[in-house]
Amino acid sequence: MWVRLLCVMVGFLCGYLLIHWMPPLTPFDFTLFITELIFNPLRTFLALTCFFIGFLANAVVIRTVIEGIVLCLLGKRVRWMEWFVCCGGIATFYWLFQWERKLAVLFFIFSFIYGMISMDLDRSRQYHRNL
């Protein structure tokens, strides 16, 4: 459970830093956007690193929520506290959507797709709980 809680916190922090460090997208001007990315290489690198780490952390959270739902429907054992922590982690996307919709949608889509790809419903494997 503590690993999932850490994933929730890391995912939210990385999403916030991504939104904070990327150039504004509201009045989108492609030349201004590319110029900001090129002339601020440290901010660009840090934002892209936060994007990568954050979507991996959020993918673990999304995978846990969906696995919990499917296992509950199949009548198998579910770790409820871990599942509730991850449901709260999904709710953190609300705040990211409030700050910057386009980046938050991109962040959520990457996390959701990778979380679905990495889902494993066979509990007999030993490496299942590893990140």
Which tens digits make up the pLDDT trace of 83-116?
788 888 888 899 999 998 889 999 999 999 998 8
pLDDT of residue 127: 52
Q: Is the pLDDT of residue 129 over 70?
A: no
pLDDT of residue 15: 93
Q: How far, in Å, CA of 58 to CA of 114, rounded? A: 9
Q: What is the mean pLDDT of the chain?
A: 85
Q: How far, in Å, CA of 66 to CA of 89, rounded? A: 13
- Angle between helices 101-117 and 41-74 in degrees, nearest 10: 50
Contact of 99 with 16, CB cutoff 8 Å:
yes
pLDDT of residue 130: 53
Q: How far, in Å, CA of 118 to CA of 42, rounded? A: 31
Contact of 11 with 92, CB cutoff 8 Å:
yes
pLDDT of residue 71: 82
Contact of 92 with 104, CB cutoff 8 Å:
no
Model-level pTM? 0.81
| Number of CB atoms found within 10 A of residue 121's CB | 11
Q: How confident is the model at residue 29 (pLDDT cuts 50, 70, 90)?
A: confident
Taking the CA of residue 44 as centre, how many other CA atoms within 13 Å lie in the half-sphere pointing to its CB? Answer: 9
